[in-house]
Amino acid sequence: MTENRYDLMILGSGPAGTTAALYGQRLGLQTVVFGDIPGGNAYMIESLDNFPGFPGGIPGTQFGVYTFQQAQNEGAVCTMTRLDRLTYADKRFQGIDSNGVEYSAPSAVVATGRVPMRLAVANADMKGVHFCSLCDGPLYRGQNATLAVVGSDNAAGQHALTIARIADQVLLVCRSKHLAMDAVHQNLIEMQANIRVLLNTEVLRYEGLDFVEGLVVQSQGEGEKIIAVDGVFLAIGWRPNTKMLDLPVELTPDGYIKADEKLKTSHPGLFAAGDVRDTDMWQVLTACADGARAAKYAAEYLEQMNK
């Protein structure tokens, strides 16, 4: 393995990571970014409508590419590989990427975001289960499909609206009594004649052999029944992506990284930004703010370290 030495290692190429790289470079830090998707999970956003400066919205994919390119233009090295393992020794973080290449730096920002959760059922990995309607919805174009969305928040609402343009019928399955999405999404869903909302309904398992052919559901006060579907899109929650961290760092009971007001974690020189940290708001805007602040305080840490 060859070693590449930098001032700052950034884990994650989403909005938090690319903003941290942009600011890190502008603060004079030689920065390397790990992540194989420019913009990270932003590609799942069909239209980013609540980010200042884009009154007509902007596709998440385009926004992600812009931030990625901006970091590169400042001189950040973007490996286009994921970091498989991060350790710490001799006052430097040691990282090994998916190609087996070794990197090191005295400071690091974890901005690896979150990954979508699967249903806790025996056949959870069945084919026909999706997490990105923008990516996988077109697979059902022209098939007169009935598609299900499981979830109740804004992500579920956006899934339903996206695939409603493709499917004959969309079933929005929600186990709670009310939808948890904002009024904008709810109003748009009510206007779509081919979206049917099933409240108080829990998915117990999938039906089918290799490919999903139906959902076994149970509504409050009723027995089990099977709903025939051609595919299902999940929006039931997220879990923080921290599996590459092979060093001691304090986490919440749900696995999110604890960080103080300066984005410092419990490990010296390690900062956390964006959706992977313990926060009260998972938004692109706040992720970008986290990235900028994490880079700023990483620079301050290095300055103190070198005195």
In a domain, 124, yes or no: no
In a domain, 181, yes or no: yes
In a domain, 294, yes or no: yes
| Domain co-membership, 14 together with 148 | no
3-state secondary structure of 29: coil
pLDDT at position 1: 41
In a domain, 290, yes or no: yes
110: domain CATH number is 3.50.50.60
CA 60 to the chain's CA centroid: 12
Question: What are 9-32's pLDDT values in tens digits?
Answer: 999 999 999 999 999 999 999 999
Digit-by-digit pLDDT tens for the chain (307 residues) are: 446 999 999 999 999 999 999 999 999 999 999 999 999 999 888 889 889 999 999 999 999 999 999 999 999 999 999 999 999 999 999 999 999 999 999 999 999 999 999 998 888 889 999 999 988 999 999 999 999 999 999 999 999 999 999 999 999 999 999 999 999 999 999 999 999 999 999 999 999 988 999 999 999 888 899 999 999 999 999 999 999 999 999 999 999 999 999 999 999 999 999 999 999 998 999 999 999 999 999 999 999 988 7
pTM for the model: 0.85
| Domain co-membership, 133 together with 112 | no
Nearest-angstrom CA–CA distance, 119 and 129: 10
Q: At what angle do helices 60-73 and 284-305 cross, to 10 degrees?
A: 20
- Choose one of 182, 214, 234: the last residue of a domain: 234
In a domain, 244, yes or no: yes
| Domain co-membership, 39 together with 72 | yes
Indicate if the alpha-carbon torsion angle 153, 154, 156, 157 is positive or negative: positive
Nearest-angstrom CA–CA distance, 162 and 60: 14
Residue 225 lies in domain: 129-234
Longest dimension (CA), the chain: 69
- Choose one of 206, 234, 262: the last residue of a domain: 234
For 236, the token pair is 């039931």
Q: What does residue 23 show for φ and ψ, rounded to 5 degrees? A: -70, -35
| Domain co-membership, 136 together with 194 | yes
Residues contacting residue 160 through CB under 8 Å, at least 6 positions apart? 149, 170, 172, 189, 192, 195
Q: What does residue 286 show for φ and ψ, rounded to 5 degrees? A: -70, -30
How many domains, in total, are found in the chain? 2
Give the residues across from 189 on adjacent strands.
Answer: none
In a domain, 145, yes or no: yes
In a domain, 163, yes or no: yes
Q: Are 295 and 12 in contact (CB under 8 A)?
A: no
Question: What are 71-110's pLDDT values in tens digits?
Answer: 999 999 999 999 999 999 999 999 999 999 999 999 999 9
- Choose one of 185, 218, 234: the last residue of a domain: 234
| List of E strands, 49-136 | 77-78, 83-89, 92-97, 102-105, 107-110, 114-116, 129-130
| Domain co-membership, 103 together with 45 | yes
| Residue 188 burial (10 A CB sphere; 0-12, 13-18, 19+) | middle
| Domain co-membership, 223 together with 178 | yes
| Domain co-membership, 111 together with 84 | yes
| Domain co-membership, 220 together with 160 | yes
**CA–CA–CA angle 277, 283, 288 (5° rounding):** 75
Residues contacting residue 136 through CB under 8 Å, at least 6 positions apart? 130, 231, 233
| Domain co-membership, 13 together with 31 | yes
